[in-house]
Structure 1
């Protein structure tokens, strides 16, 4: 027997709890990385810490947005100027945060790649590999554990914020694993005829890791940009069109206009039905019952759906 679906409010509470834990773990690992990087002089480890700090800041922003969305969809919308200026909710903030997050992560990796190339051209840098290996092993284990925790928690939540956070932890784990391999190699060749390669291990590892992780947030950035631009999701539009066309045929309407967009976790749907002029009058309760039937047929009813259904005899009101 499958477990019941969690309520939207419960999912939002779980989302915020997971994000809080992620923030604490990220800050701790970031501070650890920056300190070890400064002690060892490793540009790769410093980047690992800075990357984690960037992710922590964006996770805090995501947590704030998730709280705003939760309050606005639960009937506990913030009062005062904030509520007055965002009367249509806070869904639109989610793709903005996702876009900013993905862009910053790619930007940080690109900047680190440029520094790595410059260090390689300058002859590399010496590194105490024992301390570097210890850090890489600890960071890899911690990041992998957090990625597993976030992924497992998000199976029941379905949050884009947690999904991106999981990707960030996976990237951090992969980065640390690559650094560990590189540091082990550098430690192994220090007292051999290949010792001349040791100074290049740190910047070379950083460059390869950056090349690997730069493309990862592209999918999230693309979707966030589509949400910001109100690009119509084809699947949702087809579903709305099918329901609206069936209503037109059944009720004898002339036609309809449907406008659909996805903004973060929110779905915005507007349907205008063109009713023949001179149609016999009906009580408002009858139109409300028809609206309820249409809303049920579309499905996906939740606090994150903004549904408008209107009836008019003038097509200009619908165009």
Structure 2
């Protein structure tokens, strides 16, 4: 368990360094090579992070099963307690710091999840070795070697869900699938009054979240009953959309188009 906890912490630091390097790279503008920005790198790196954690969990799970079947693992409980206590305090500190500053950054949210897992692992180690120490003073002290692999099975089994869920969620961003329904509902709430004001018959809304950037594509389809929409009106509408979506604290890539023919809103042509 100590080996898993220490290895997880080491991997966490290495992956955090990777996130930091990529975040710095994303900030550097390069519109020639990346006309739509570099935000796509964020979900790719997050998938790599969780894939490494998932692999580590699976390998550790197999090792724990082998250890359990071969008679358990002898442990120096006293030294283990000191390690677990110090590690738990350190992980709690980092997790609290990240939670206070995570905002809407995918990188920081992934880091917070990563250190939350590390905190709970370290806490489980501490509780496990306290239990082992108490058992060693009872007639059941022969069970002490089994405490370590059992702890690994419980902790790793519990945490297998997190990387699987996060990989699935982040993979949606790589595929540029629709953003969360709450985001779509918020933007629809903004454009509905605009449709009423200018008597716009229909609109097509497309939203995709990639990293910390929100791509918003709106096509307003005008009809015979629609009011005249001048260039000034169009800019006013764009400004209104931006102002009313400020609470969506992502970088926004806004595209607003106006057409009399719905076919131009379909976007795909042979």
Aligned length: 265
**Whole-Å separation in 2 of the counterparts to 1:254 and 1:223:** 34
1:132 equivalent in structure 2: 80
Q: Displacement, 1:118?
A: 0.6
Note the C-alpha offset of 1:170. Answer: 2.6
5+ residue gaps, structure 2: none
Structure 1 residues 140, 265: CA separation in 2 closer, same or farther (over 3 Å shift)? same
Q: 2:221 is matched with which residue: 274, 290, 293?
A: 274
**Distance across 1 between alignment mates of 2:3 and 2:135:** 23
Q: Distance in 1 between matches of 2:179 and 2:113?
A: 26
Mean Cα deviation higher: 102-111 or 239-248: 239-248
CA change 1:286–1:225 in 2 (3 A) is same
Instruction: String of CA shifts for 1:17-44, please: whole Å, max 9, x gaps.
Output: xxxxxxxxxxxxxxxxxxxxxxxxxxx1
Which residue number in structure 2 is paired with residue 115 of structure 1? 63
Cα distance in 2 for residues equivalent to 1:69 and 1:303: 15
Deviations 1:235-269 (A, max 9, x none): 22223333334323322334221111222221111
Q: Cα–Cα, structure 1 residues 253 and 147, in superposed 2: closer, same or farther, change >3 Å?
A: closer
The separation in 2 between residues aligned to 1:134 and 1:100, in whole angstroms, is: 32
Aligned to 2:151: 205
Unaligned stretches of 5+ in structure 1? 1-43, 72-76
- The correspondence of residues 288-303 of structure 1 with structure 2, limited to 5 A, is 288-300=235-247
The structure 2 residue matched to 1:260, chosen from 207, 219, 232, is 207
User: For residue 88 of structure 1, what is the aligned residue in structure 2?
Assistant: 36
Match of 2:124 in 1: 178
Is residue 2:261 matched to residue 1:304? no
3-state SS in 2 of match to 1:85: coil
CA distance in structure 2 between the partners assigned to 1:218 and 1:211 by the alignment: 12
- In structure 2, relative to structure 1, the CA distance for the partners of 1:280 and 1:190 (3 Å cut) is closer
For residues 51-96 of structure 1, the C-alpha deviation after alignment (integer angstroms, 9 at most, x for no partner) is 112222221222223223434xxxxx14xxxx43321012222222
Alpha-carbon distance, 1:226 to partner:
2.9
State the match for 2:14 in structure 1.
57
CA-CA distance at 1:147 after TM superposition: 1.6
Q: Is the 8 A contact 1:258 1:272 kept in 2?
A: yes
Output the aligned Cα RMSD. 2.9
CA distance in 1, matches of 2:58, 2:249: 40
Cα deviation for residue 302 of structure 1 reads: 6.7
Bigger helix fraction: 1
Distance in 2 (CA, whole Å) between partners of 1:303 and 1:59 is 22
Counterpart of 1:216 in 2: which secondary structure? helix
Label 1:183 to 1:250 Cα distance change in 2 as closer, same or farther (>3 A): closer
TM-score, normalised relative to structure 1: 0.72
Instruction: Name the CA distance, whole Å, in 1 between partners of 2:87 and 2:59.
Output: 21
